[in-house]
Amino acid sequence: MERVYNFSPGPSILPLPVLKKASAEMLDAYGSGQSIMEMSHRSKDFKPVIEGAENLLRSLLGIPEEYTVLFLQGGASLQFSMVPINLAGTESGSGQKKAAFVDTGVWAGKAIDEAKKYVDVRVLASSKDKNYSYIPAAPAPEKDDVYYHICLNNTIVGTKWHTLPPVGDVPLVADVSSCILSEPLDVSRFGLLYAGAQKNLGPAGCTVVIIRKDLITQAPSWTPTMLRYDIHAKEKSLYNTPPCWSIYIIYLVLQWISETGGLEAMGERNRKKAGILYDALEKSSLFYSPVEKASRSLMNIPFVIREKDEAKKKTIEEKFLKEAAENGMINLAGHRLVGGLRASIYNAMPLEGVDKLVSFIEKFEKKV
């Protein structure tokens, strides 16, 4: 069977060279006579993998020495708890500290709801009034805010922060799950970055955290051991058995990015792919992008059918998805909470896949 073009928002498409290399090494990784999935995480065979992944990530992103890189589990969703506990948690009986948030959609909202269990949350701005179709103007935090949280790219609604909010000396924390490594990023402007691997980094099962070292030792004494950044930093992400296979694939993905020109080249390719699809939607009489132009994502592109009759719209959507799948393009349905259609065109999506989708859109429109 031929491989399809997978437009899933995650777990998402992986680079074909990475899949081929992993397949070739499935039974014998690096001449060890064993699979990565069989290796001890503390063995001499796995050590170059996890260290290599960190070194390549540091090189590609230009991560300064004063930052620690962690390979954790629990997805970005666990970070919704770990961040407030470690950065703003207080000892039992003491008052809550304050943290600033901007509400730009489902994942930002989940981070807000989870943080409310541990800190005094202040929502500085929200784009809920227009169904999260834009990034709102965000005011500066107050001096006693412990951190300032944003979701840099909003996977479900297809928006992205193209200009960071003014935070002053307050550490900026960002969920970068769906945009990490898609273009250059100045890590030094953040106190903490976290990303689930299953979009641009690798397979599900691993979460990368990049944290400034001065923010690591602030967890209260009641913090569960597995939720402490200081424990994971001290043990170099090996406190318990890490997701070895996921880290190995991340290592291969990072090699692929480096070999194909790094983040400057990756950003150019992603802007070209997104531009082609957005241009097609602008010209279409059947489809349109619901996202304001200044806030549009390079990675996740929702599009909606111009039809007021909901029943008829749903019928057209179902026909579109069915015929797209028959033509080798899958996972184009919008998120279950918002509906519509969506193409996630992460790093591994080749230009040919976007061209094929645009051609299909044009042909489909003529038939409807």
DSSP lists the bridge partners of residue 102 as 125
Catalytic, out of 161, 175, 245, 273: 175
What pLDDT is stored for residue 250 in this prediction?
98
d(CA 216, CA 97): 17
The whole-angstrom separation of Cα 314 and Cα 322 is 12
* Residue 273 among the catalytic residues: no
Task: Kindly tell me if the per-residue pLDDT of 46 is higher than 80.
Answer: yes
Domains in the chain, please, with CATH? Answer: 17-259 (3.40.640.10), 262-367 (3.90.1150.10)
Q: Which bin fits 74, alpha (ψ -120 to 50), beta or left (φ > 0)?
A: left
**What letter would DSSP give residue 252?**
H
Name the active-site residue from 107, 161, 245, 273: 107
**Residue pointed to by tokens 């591994």:** 348
| Whole-angstrom distance, CA of residue 334 vs CA of residue 322 | 14
Does the annotation count 199 as an active-site position? yes
50's enclosing H/E stretch is helix 47-61
In sequence order, the 6+-apart residues with CB closer than 8 A to the CB of 63 are 57, 69, 187, 210
* Mean residue pLDDT across the chain: 96
What is the DSSP secondary structure assignment for residue 284, as one 8-state letter? -
Quick check: is 107 catalytic? yes
Active-site entry in 103, 160, 161, 199:
199
Local confidence band at 1 (pLDDT 50, 70, 90 cut-offs):
low
Does the predicted model carry a pTM greater than 0.85? yes
SS3 content of the chain, % helix, strand, coil (to 5): 40, 15, 40
- Judge whether residue 236 has pLDDT over 80: yes
106-132 confidence digits (pLDDT tens): 999 999 999 999 999 999 999 999 999
